[in-house]
Amino acid sequence: MRVINSDVLLEGIILFVVTFYLSHVGALSRSYESLSLFWPVNAVLAGLMVRYTILDRKTHLIFIFLAMVCMDTLSGNGLWDAMNINLANIIFISLACYLIKSDVLFSWYKNYMRHSILSRRLINTLPACFIACALSALWGAIASDGMVNKTFAVGWCDWFTEQFATGMLFLPLMVTLPHINKIRLPRFSIIRIFSLLALMLSLVVSSKIDGIIGLILPLPALLVCAWQYSFFPTALLTLLTGITQIVMVANHKLAIPGLNTLVSIDPLTLGRLIIAVMAICPLLVAINLSSPRNIPCVQ
């Protein structure tokens, strides 16, 4: 009989507590047609497993799954429904972690292996997040079919956009998380201060402009921030901007229209998708400019 190492057990317990807390945060925002406004737990855990490889163990997925099921059952869902729904979360975490850490997505590109390990993982983030979101949303839409009064296509879109938005906002931040003893405040210059002020001003102005124009208004300021700051501060600013915009859309402070195509897409779903695409742009700029900067080494 195989005995679990005490260190593995301690790591599992810590992940259980972190997962339970983040799941509780997501459950508190379940006010929009049964989906959470934010569900950060998947992206945060996947990013931690990428950033700290010691956490990437199959045993830890069991602790994570148990914490999610416990949180859902305490929130009033049945045990079977909680297990089915949270299996979609496990699919995202395991698949995103594997695809970001491996080189299978871009192994065909001859210049890909010339990049550093961290740069390759950042490059992998976009397609890994997209694939993980699509497959986890597939299971999530199937599992929630009897719980939510929605068609399969609408359910899949809701799952995909919610996961894709939070994934593109949180994953880059977690992947580049610096060691605590290497955290330094950035040196401020006139252009860096003005880029921050421009970002804050664009968020204020965007709340006064309806439509997609208002939603993408902070993008130029984010690109300037990506040019001026190292990757981690850029990822943090992108995360805070995206969260602010999602809250504004959900509370009708920033009005954008829905889409009535083959699938009816509500404003929040469309807003999440646009915010996820916006988050990619500073990521690409930061990757291109990161070589001369101090970015954290990967353990």
Q: Are 117 and 176 in contact (CB under 8 A)?
A: no
Q: What is the pLDDT of residue 92?
A: 95
Contacts of 12 (CB under 8 A, 6+ apart): 4, 59, 60, 62, 63
Window from 121-125, 234-238, 249-253 with minimum mean pLDDT: 249-253
**φ and ψ at residue 64, rounded to 5 degrees:** -65, -45
Q: What is the pLDDT of residue 298?
A: 41
**Quick one: what percent of the chain has pLDDT higher than 70?**
81
Q: What is the pLDDT of residue 253?
A: 78
* Residue 202 reports pLDDT greater than 50: yes
Q: What is the pLDDT of residues 123-178, one digit of tens each?
A: 888 889 999 999 999 988 887 765 555 677 777 888 888 899 999 999 999 988 87
Q: What is the pLDDT of residue 98?
A: 92
Q: What is the pLDDT of residue 107?
A: 64
Please report which confidence band the pLDDT of residue 296 belongs to, taking 50, 70 and 90 as the band edges.
very low
Here the tokens at position 166 are 């939070």
Q: Are 128 and 100 in contact (CB under 8 A)?
A: yes
> Average model confidence (pLDDT) for the chain?
81
**Quick one: what percent of the chain has pLDDT higher than 90?**
26
Please report which confidence band the pLDDT of residue 116 belongs to, taking 50, 70 and 90 as the band edges.
low
- C-alpha closest to that of 219 among 277, 293, 170, 267: 277
Q: What is the pLDDT of residue 292?
A: 41
Contacts of 104 (CB under 8 A, 6+ apart): none
Cα separations in angstroms, 90 against 56, 133, 187: 13, 11, 40
Tokens 């089915």 locate to: 84
Q: What is the pLDDT of residues 89-102, one digit of tens each?
A: 999 999 999 999 88
Please report which confidence band the pLDDT of residue 185 belongs to, taking 50, 70 and 90 as the band edges.
low
Q: What is the pLDDT of residue 99?
A: 92
Please report which confidence band the pLDDT of residue 110 belongs to, taking 50, 70 and 90 as the band edges.
low
Burial of 52 per CB tally in 10 Å (0-12, 13-18, 19+): middle
Q: Is 32 left (phi over 0), alpha (psi -120 to 50) or beta?
A: beta
Q: Are 247 and 261 in contact (CB under 8 A)?
A: no
Q: Is 140 left (phi over 0), alpha (psi -120 to 50) or beta?
A: alpha
* Residue 293 reports pLDDT greater than 50: no
More confident residue, 277 or 252: 277
More confident residue, 223 or 150: 223
Q: What is the pLDDT of residue 149?
A: 52
List residues bridging with 259 in a β-sheet.
265
Cα(225)–Cα(286) distance, integer angstroms: 9
Cα(211)–Cα(223) distance, integer angstroms: 21
Contacts of 128 (CB under 8 A, 6+ apart): 95, 96, 99, 100, 105
Q: What is the pLDDT of residue 294?
A: 40
Residue 53 DSSP symbol: G
* Residue 66 reports pLDDT greater than 90: yes
Average pLDDT in the 50-64 region? 88
